[in-house]
Structure 1
Amino acid sequence: MSWRKRASLSIAGLALLTGCTAGSTDSAGSPAQGNASLPHVRISVGIDQAYAPFFVAKNQGLFHQQGVDVELVRYAVGGDGVDALATGQVQMAASSEVTSIGQLGHIPDLRALLVYEQSGDYLKVVTRPEITDPAQIRTMAVVPGLSEVSAVKFLQAKGIDPAGVRMVTAGAAEIPTLVRRGDADAYVLWEPWPTKGADQGNKIVSTTGQYGWKYTHWLMTKESWLRDNEQLAGKVARALAQGADRVRSDPNTAAADTQKETKIPPEQTLNAVKQIDFRVRDITAEDVRAYDSVAQFYLDRGVAKSKPDVSRAALIGWYSRNAGQ
C-alpha cells in the first residue's frame, strides 16, 4: 500500500482509533487515579526505549515534583500519537521530527517545543549478505516517516537515484525477515531491528551518522493549547529534562523504568543509552535549516500538497524562555 493511501486511511480512521484507544495504552490511568490536586496532562509516547526520559520522569516522580500530573498514553507507532493531537485526545506528543513534519499538513497548528534526544548511531543500514555494494540495491523495505527518509538519504549519499529503487512499506518487526528471505535488499531502522536482522544473517553496513544524517525527537503540542498553558508546558519540559539527565547518569534505573512501562528487556535500553544523546535542548535555527530538507522530501515525494512550514512549527528557543534552569 502506498504511503499516501496509508496516510489517508490513518487520518480517516483517527476518530475511531483514538476514541476507543485501539493501538494505544494508558499507562497512568484517569486523572482520578493520579494526583487530583495537580493539573493533568496527557502525553502520547511510543513503546520503545527512545522514550525512556518520559518513563523515568513518570516513575521517579519528576512530573509531580514540577507540579503536574502526567498521563502517558502509549502508541505502537509514534506518528499515531502525534495524530492524537488533531482530535484533542492528548495535549502533548513525542515523536521524531521526520514523522512529525510529514503530519503538518493535517495538524497545521502543531508546535515543536524542544528536542529531547538526537543520534546518528541509533538507526542503521542493513543489507542482505549478498549485497557488497550499495549500487546493487534494487529494493528497500521502509516504515513511512523516519525510516524512509533515512533510506533515501543513504541512497543519495551513495550517489544512487532513489527513484530507481523500489520502496516496500512494512512494519518494523516484519522488515528483517523480508530482507533475510530476499523480498528486499536493504533497510534503515532503529534498534533493535538492525541487531535482530544481523541475528537472522543480514549485515549491518552503516549508521546514519556515517553518511551525515542524524534524527531528533520533539516534544510537541498544538498552538491552541499552548496559548493558555505555556507555564504548564514549561513544567512538563523541566521534568522531561530531569528525566533525560537521569537516563544518562543512571542507565540502570532508565532500563528498569522502561521495562516497567513497555516490557522491553533492560539490555535494549542500556544499549540505546550508549547510542542516543538523551538531552533536552532548544530547537535552533541550524535545526530548522536541516528540517527544511525533510519538508522538501515530503513535497518531492507527493506526500504533501505544499511544502510543510517547519519554520512556523518549530519554536526556536522556546525551552530556554519557558523552562530553562
Structure 2
Amino acid sequence: MHTASRPTSRSIRRIAGTFLCTTALTSVTACGAGTTDSGAGSGGGADDPHIRIAVGVDAGYAPFFVADAEGLWAKHGVDVDLVQFAKGGEGVDALNAGQVQMAGNSDVTTIGLLAQNPDLRSLLVYEQSGRYLKVVVRAGVKSPDKIRKMAVVPGLSELATTRFLESKGIKPDAVELVVADPAEIPALTDKGDVDAYVLWEPWPSKGKALGERILESTGDYGFSYQHWLLSTSPWLKDHKSTAVKVAAALEEAAEKTESDPRSAAQATKDAAKIPTDQTMKAVKDIDFGVRDFTDKDLKGYDDTADFYLSTGKVKARPDVSRTVQRGWLPENTKGS
C-alpha cells in the first residue's frame, strides 16, 4: 500500500501509479485522514502546522517546488510535505481519502471528479495557459481530417482533444479515443497505434524528438486551462488559517517562478527530476500567478460541467458553484 507518511530526509515524495489506501472508505483515521500534524517537514518551525500537499510531476507545479526550495512555507508559518503523483487526478483522490490536506490540479480534471468528491473546495487559481498543452500528430498524418485514433488522459487531455476535433469540424465520435498514461503516449504514436494526442509538456517535446509533429497549441483553437489550489470543506472548517498561510506562500512562489525562471527550473529539477530546459520553456508557456475567480472563469467551468454531462461520464451535472470559493482569496489574504 502506498502511503503519504512524512519522508525522513526530504519533504517531497513521488508516487507513480494509483494512490490507494485500503482502509480509506471504512476507517479514514487509519490513513491519517483530515489531520494537520505538527513537526518539521520542509523546515517549518516546531509549532507550525504540518500538512501534506499533493502535486503532479511536471513543470506546471513549479511554484510548489519553489516554495519548498526557497523556504517560503516556513516563512509564512506552515510546515509542508509535497507528495508527488503521476497524474493530478490521483492527488485529488488522495485528498478525498484524507491522505493529503491540499492539492494542486487542473480545473477540467477536478470538475470531472466532483461527483465522487462533493466536499472538494477550490480556493484560488495559481496558473493558466493556452500554450502549455499542444496537439501532436505522428509522422505521415498530413492533416487533422486524416486522424482516426487519438490517445487521451481522462480529464484535461480528453476535453482539449474534443475541443480540437470540434475546431476542425470533425465529429468526436468519428475518432477513436484511446486512454493511456501520459508517458506511454509518444511511443504509442510513434508505433502508429494512435495518430495524435493533446498533452502538456514534456510529452509534446518527447514526441517531437521521435519525429512527430507539433501541430498547434490549444490556445490556437480557443482552449485554455487553469490550475486550482484545492482542499475539502471538512478540513477547511477547522484549518482556515493554515490554508491562508499556504495561499500566501504559493502567491510569493508563483511570483518568484515568473520573475526568476532559472531558479524555478533548478528547484523543479531537484524536486521532480524535470530537466531545467523543460521548466524554462514551461514558464514561457504558462502564466503563473495567484488570483481569485472571475465571471469568465465561472462560465468556462460551467461549459466544462456541461461537457461531462453531455458525454454521459457523470449522471448529474457537476456542482461547480459549490466547489469554487469565489472571494475566499481576497477575503482571507489581502492585507494579511
**Distance apart, 1:322 and its partner CA:** 1.1
Distance 1:74 1:31 in 2: 20
Conserved 8 A contact 1:140-1:185:
yes
Match of 1:248 in 2: 258
Match of 1:279 in 2: 289
Distance 1:273 1:188 in 2: 19
Match of 1:113 in 2: 123
SS at match of 1:173: helix
Match of 2:198 in 1: 188
Conserved 8 A contact 1:284-1:317:
no
Match of 1:16 in 2: 22
Distance 2:91 2:38 in 1: 18
Q: 1:209 aligns with which of 209, 216, 219?
A: 219
Q: AA paired with 2:59?
A: Q
Higher normalized helix content (fraction of residues): 1
Match of 1:164 in 2: 174
**Distance apart, 1:292 and its partner CA:** 1.2
**Distance apart, 1:31 and its partner CA:** 3.1
Stretch moving more, 297-306 or 121-130: 297-306
- Equivalent residue runs for 1:121-140 within 5 Å: 121-140=131-150
Q: AA paired with 2:22?
A: L
SS at match of 2:334: coil
Match of 1:147 in 2: 157
Is 1:310 aligned to residue 320 of structure 2?
yes
**Distance apart, 1:306 and its partner CA:** 0.7
Distance 1:313 1:260 in 2: 33
Distance 1:263 1:304 in 2: 36
SS at match of 1:15: coil
Distance 2:194 2:133 in 1: 18
**Distance apart, 1:231 and its partner CA:** 2.0
Q: 1:51 aligns with which of 46, 61, 79?
A: 61
Relative to the length of structure 2, the TM-score reads: 0.87
Conserved 8 A contact 2:58-2:202:
no
Match of 1:31 in 2: 39
Conserved 8 A contact 1:45-1:94:
yes
Alignment CA distance shift 1:30-1:131 (3 Å): farther
Which deviations, in whole Å up to 9, do the C-alpha atoms of 1:67-107 show, x marking residues without a partner?
A: 11111111111111111111111111101111111110111
SS at match of 2:178: strand
Point out where structure 2 has 5 or more consecutive residues left out of the alignment.
Answer: 1-16, 28-36
Which deviations, in whole Å up to 9, do the C-alpha atoms of 1:208-252 show, x marking residues without a partner?
A: 000000000000000111112222211110110000000011111
Relative to the length of structure 1, the TM-score reads: 0.90
Distance 2:291 2:230 in 1: 13
Match of 1:91 in 2: 101
Conserved 8 A contact 1:283-1:318:
no
Q: AA paired with 2:281?
A: N
Q: 2:210 aligns with which of 197, 200, 225?
A: 200
**Distance apart, 1:317 and its partner CA:** 2.2
Tell me the number of residue pairs that the alignment of Structure 1 and Structure 2 aligns. Answer: 306
Distance 2:23 2:299 in 1: 34
SS at match of 2:243: helix
SS at match of 2:83: strand
Point out where structure 1 has 5 or more consecutive residues left out of the alignment.
Answer: 1-9, 20-28
SS at match of 1:201: coil
Conserved 8 A contact 2:38-2:50:
no
Match of 1:23 in 2: none
Stretch moving more, 188-197 or 173-182: 173-182
**Distance apart, 1:32 and its partner CA:** 4.7
Distance 2:57 2:194 in 1: 26
Q: AA paired with 2:20?
A: L
